[in-house]
Chain A
Amino acid sequence: MSVSSQALTMIKTNDQVSQTESQTSKAKPKKLRQRNRPRNKRNRVEDSTATTTESSTTTESTMPGDNSQQEAATREQVMAEREAKKQAKQAKKQKSTPPATKIITEVEQTTITTKLTTTTTTTARDKPEPPAATAAPAAPIAAVTCTAAAVTETGDKTRDQIKAEREAKKAAKQAAKVAKSSGAKVEAPVQQLANLQVTEKTPAPSEAPAPAADEDKKKPALSKAERRAIQEAQRAAKAQGQGQVKKAQPAAKAPVKSTATHTAPKELKRESVSPVKTTATASPSKNSSGSAKSECKVKLFNHLVSAEKGASLFINDPLVHPSMARLGVQYAQRTVVGSNARCIAFLHALRQVVQDFETPAKKEFGRSLDAAVQHHVDHLHKCRPLAVSVSNAYKQFRNQVTQLPADVPEAELKEILVHFIDTYIENQIGKAAQAISSSLQEKITDGDVLLTFGCSSLIQFICEEAKRRQVAFRVIVVDSRPTCEGQEMLRRLHAHGIPCTYVLINAVGYVMAEATKVLLGAHALLANGYVMARTGTAQVALVANTHNVPVLVCCETHKFSERFQTDAIVYNELSDPNELVRDDKCCLKNWASKAHLTPLNLNYDITPPELVSAVVTEVAILPCTSVPVILRIKPDIGY
């Protein structure tokens, strides 16, 4: 309760977008776990800010989503559909005048979520599987768990998405121009805009109910798609021509609609052609804004592929459940960061997938689900390499799927799996954190100065617990560029009234003399006892070690990995090197044009066990070297 309200105040107070993003994502796990009231309120706050900041864009992006939504909803929930219609109408009315207020209802929430899903993944409409169709009715359930936090990010996300799509539209327009040089019909009437919406609606219902009939419908759909592509290109050309004259309104209108129309044909096309190819060919055109480099310039790291940030990755897969697609975007854009947060978000998305899963005809439930989930996990991996916690959770889930009893109705099997997921979150993450915290409380006494690095939800939990016990301690937060997660940590601790000191990592030697204990979070614990954590952790541990300050690494056992690794270079993750560039005046600004210059943004480093005094797990406080022992007995823990 207190946590979420704290999160609320944080949102209000924090005005920096980047910080808000990271913070909401980090506040998420707590949110999800607690499932409590302030959700609605929080929605309103976020939503109103979103609408006021760029009102026209946001509302209009709702439109296509709503339309397709309604069709889907008729079948499932009449009530919800009606209200959604009302909503849509209102939104339509408001199109001309920027809406100042929005009625927040349960349905509103669903529209927002679906807006998210439709804009991030337009697949929703064409999806052969029911998930897309059931997205709206399922949303109320989902809303309880997942949407609340997700919605808060909607504003930013759609904005980004829209930007990307604008770029894509421009590119598509140019391509179309080249293709049909004879096409003199550059002047597209404004009516077409309205028409587009109607036509766009028609294929959606025809495809959604009959996934089996997909093959037959491909032909008309394709031609329709082509036609639409042409229209879109024309309209885009027109919009470009007139763009300078009347900027605000049409500019906002055009790209959003093109979102629906433009991505839809691609969708249809890729069903007929090989899916992989289309994504590949689509990426360069779509990708004009994102950096589409697949390998690092630094020779040492050639083997590490930096994640591709092209929008195409997130849009064009009909087999990916919206919740997973959204998660993929959140992973890739680093709105969901932190091992625990990623794991919880994954499990919630996974539960959605399980709930919405329908066994194909003449297939076994367990196996087809396994395959589907595998596909989703692959998708997530493409967005950002999976966290150890996520892959562990996935492993456990898979284990559970293979052990499902036969001769049990599907609904019951789903029940089992959902229950498994819930208990996993509760036991492995929630209770583990409590256990770790309670065992650490003995170690935190009056006058302690805890030094921590970056932002760890677990350390934050421990500090809050210690504060609750009225221990007089203070915290030194060490931070590093470029992510500056420590600022988030500082803010959270500060909100709890814990006195803090804040330094950057190169000053760690300066403050280490004051520290009495070093508490570090971890991304994973490797089987050889090395700690994999945010870059800089090893340095903090190293300095602490030379100052003879005990280093305690807090890590739940669900983050234990069976991998062996002795340096940070063999396996690591590279973030966007542009994050290192400070501002426009920075000398690194045009690094890409210099052949020999590369900023390198490593995500993790490896702390050798000799620098770590002990690892605090929910099982016990152990030396690093005991990790393999835990790994061996692990299946017995918590189940």
Chain B
Amino acid sequence: MREQPLKEVTQLIHAIKVGLVEGSFGITNKTLDIFKYIIISKSWKNADALMQIVRAQCRILQAALPQETVTSNIARRILKLTREEFDLLHAKVQHFADDSQASLSLHKLVTQTSESNVSVDYSVPQQGLREALLDHLQEVETELETSSENICVQAEEHIHSSEIILTLGHSRSVENFLKRAIKKRQFLTIIVAECAPASRGHNLAASLAAEKNVEIIVIPDAAIFAMMSRVNKVIIGTHSVLANGGLRAACGAYTVALAAKHYSVPVIVLAPMYKLSPLHLCEQDAFNMVGCAEDVIPYDSIPAREAKVYSPMFDYVPPELVTLFISNTGGHAPSYVYRLLTELYHPEDLEI
């Protein structure tokens, strides 16, 4: 059976494709709004029906926007919420005191996994599920809204004065993070690699240059290695965090991470929780997108007629090149990402 996309979903897909909605945060917010709308206005009888709808719409989004993983991440969050709420209510109905949510001892962890194998019948209609879900969604929304701020707060913990920081391209989290750092610490030097061909680094540099007490250096991508010998920390944003702790980040991040590794410079990745996706992609071709090559070489130049010109959008950065993730809940090692994923999403929702 083919699912029909909701009107809202098609609108969102269009907006993203046209570029009206930009940035992971914006897309996440919009997606969340859609799912909220589904919960409120769609006539679903039980949890199972709701999950069907969410899954269907998520699949549509995924097919239309394969590179935007945040949409499915949010869908997974919704699914997990639904399951939890249902379990909670179900437990309440049975007057069964269940403290599995509260404490996670090792014993519980073991028993919990075994528990999850026990299939729960979600098709039983449950009173008050809608209200409980909306309640919980509110929490997710606030978490989203404060995620950037929560990451920024940690700036002081990671940056000392007169530090030389290198970043790449233009990530909003990095921008806010660095702005906070500039306010709190003195004599910072921030090196911005421009990230050709879009050169979004220029925007970041211009934005940061409005602050005081900081030195901004814009370098071409070629000079990353040359400058890395003086850099104390690399702070980059990412498009999404993969299940193994690797990154799908802006093109050029791989070189930055390699150069940092070469000079033993810590690489800090700012990734709010909604960017964690339970995907295992270890190869470039698996997820990369090739952008417009006009910026790389003008179409009307003679060699461009015959030469193959690539302008990939993303780089895969293996987890061993990442030192630390900073999310809105705190710092995490790349090896811990799998654990965060199990907390964040239900194992059965990894495949939508």
Binding site for B on A (CB under 8 A): 13-14, 16, 298-300, 477, 480-482, 487, 490-491, 493-494, 499-511, 513, 534-536, 538-539, 542-543, 546, 567-569, 572, 580, 582, 586-588, 591, 594, 596-602, 604-606
Q: Do residues A480 and B216 form an inter-chain contact, with CB atoms below 8 A?
A: no
Chain A residues, Cβ within 8 Å of B308 = 500-502
Residues from chain B with Cβ under 8 Å of A591 in the complex: 209, 218
Is the CB of B20 closer than 8 A to any CB of chain A? no
> A601 and B202: CB pair below 8 A?
no
List residues of chain B with CB under 8 Å of any chain A CB.
Answer: 189, 194-197, 199, 202-203, 205-206, 209, 211-212, 214-227, 229-230, 251-252, 254-255, 258-259, 262, 284, 288, 296-297, 301-304, 306-312, 315-316
| Cα A480 to Cα B224 with chains together (Å) | 11
Check A602 against B226 for contact (C-beta < 8 Å).
yes
A602 and B218 CA atoms in complex are apart in Å by 11
Besides A505-B222, A507-B252, A588-B218, 18 other A-B contacts (C-beta < 8 A): A482-B220, A487-B303, A499-B307, A501-B309, A503-B309, A504-B296, A510-B251, A510-B288, A535-B226, A543-B254, A543-B255, A567-B230, A568-B226, A569-B226, A596-B209, A599-B218, A600-B217, A602-B226
| Distance from B227 Cβ to chain A, minimum over Cβ atoms (Å) | 8
Complex alpha-carbon distance, A594 and B209, angstroms: 7
17 A-B pairs with CB atoms under 8 Å apart are A480-B222, A481-B197, A482-B220, A487-B297, A490-B297, A500-B306, A502-B307, A502-B309, A506-B252, A535-B222, A535-B223, A568-B226, A582-B199, A588-B205, A599-B217, A600-B218, A600-B223
Q: Which residues of A sit under 8 angstroms from B214, Cβ to Cβ?
A: 596
Asked if B258 contacts A546 (CB within 8 A), the reply is yes
- Do residues B222 and A539 form an inter-chain contact, with CB atoms below 8 A? yes
Residues of B within 8 A of A598 (CB): 215-218
Most chain B CB within a 10 A radius of its CB, from A481, A572, A587: A587
The 8 Å CB contact of B206, one of A505, A567, A588, is A588
Residues in B whose Cβ lies below 8 Å from that of A13: 302
Residue of B nearest to A606 (CB): B226
Cα-based distance from A569 to B288 in the complex (angstroms): 34
Q: A300-B230, A500-B303 are in contact. Are A602 and B309 (CB under 8 A)?
A: no
Give Cα A582–Cα B196 distance, bound, in whole angstroms.
Answer: 10
Q: B155 to nearest A CB, angstroms? A: 18
Q: Which of A491, A503, A539 contacts B224 (CB 8 A)?
A: A539
Question: In the complex, which residues of chain A have a beta carbon less than 8 angstroms from the beta carbon of B225?
Answer: 536, 538-539, 542, 568, 605
| CB atoms of A506 and B310 under 8 A apart | no
A contacts with B: majority SS = mixed
A596 touches B194 (CB 8 A): no
From residue B252, how far is it (CB to closest CB) to chain A in Å? 3
User: Do residues B209 and A605 form an inter-chain contact, with CB atoms below 8 A?
Assistant: no
Of the residues A542, A580, A599, A600, contact of B255 by C-beta under 8 Å: A542
Shortest Cβ distance from residue A475 to the other chain B in the assembled complex, whole angstroms: 9
A587 with B205: CB separation less than 8 A: yes
Chain B residues in 8 Å Cβ range of A503: 296, 309-312
Contact check: which of A507, A582, A596 meets B312 at CB < 8 Å? A507
- Bound Cα distance A482, B302 (Å): 20
CB pair B302–A494 under 8 Å, yes or no, is yes
Q: Give CA–CA (A500, B227) in the complex, Å.
A: 30
Contact count A vs B, C-beta below 8 Å = 185
Which among B218, B219, B223, B255 has the greatest number of chain A C-beta atoms within 10 A? B223
Pairwise interchain contact A602-B223, C-beta atoms closer than 8 A: yes
**A502 CA / B227 CA spacing, docked (Å):** 25
CB distance from A638 to the nearest CB of B (A): 32
B169: nearest residue on chain A (CB-CB)?
Answer: A506
Would you call A536 and B222 a contact (CB within 8 A)? yes
**Residues of A with C-beta under 8 A to B227:** 568-569, 600, 602
CB B116 to nearest CB in A, in angstroms, measures 38
Q: Which B residues touch A509, using CB under 8 A?
A: 254-255, 284, 315-316
B226 close to A538 (CB less than 8 A): yes
Contact call A569/B229, Cβ cutoff below 8 A: yes
A390 to B197, CA, bound (A): 34
A298 B217 Cβ-Cβ under 8 A: yes
B302 touches A299 (CB 8 A): no
The interface residues of chain A lying within 8 Å CB-to-CB of B205 are: 587-588, 597
**Whole-angstrom distance between the alpha carbons of A13 and B259 in the complex?**
39
| Nearest Cβ on chain B to A517's Cβ, whole angstroms | 18
**Which residue of chain B has the shortest Cβ distance to A477 in the bound complex?**
B307
A600 in complex: contacting residue of B219, B304, B310, CB < 8 Å: B219
The answer to whether B199 and A586 touch across the interface, beta carbons within 8 angstroms, is: yes
Specify the chain A residue showing the minimal Cβ separation from B170: A587
Per a CB cutoff under 8 Å, which of A491, A510, A580 touches B220?
A580
Query: Looking across the interface, which residue of chain B has its beta carbon closest to that of A595?
Result: B209
B207 nearest CB neighbor, chain A only: A587
Chain A neighbourhood of B252, CB < 8 A: 505-507
A160 CA to B64 CA, complexed, in Å? 52
CA distance A13 to B288 in the complex (A): 35
A501's nearest neighbour on chain B, judged by CB, is B308
A-chain residues with CB within 8 Å of residue B217 when the two chains form the complex:
298, 598-600
Contacts of B218 in A (CB 8 A): 580, 588, 591, 597-600
| Contact indicator B302/A506 (Cβ below 8 Å) | no
- Partner of B215 from A16, A504, A587, A596 at Cβ < 8 Å: A596
Q: Knowing A582-B199, A586-B202, A598-B217, say if A14 contacts B229 (CB, 8 Å).
A: no
Residue of A nearest to B302 (CB): A13
**A596-B216 contact in complex given A481-B194, A509-B255, C-beta closer than 8 Å:** yes
Chain B positions within 8 Å of A501 at CB level: 307-310
**A494: B residues at CB distance < 8 A:** 302-303, 306-307
Q: Which residues of A contact B226 (CB under 8 A)?
A: 535, 538, 567-569, 572, 602, 604-606
Q: Are B255 and A605 in contact (CB under 8 A)?
A: no
Nearest CB of B to A195, in Å? 50
* Bound form: Cα–Cα A7–B241 in Å: 49
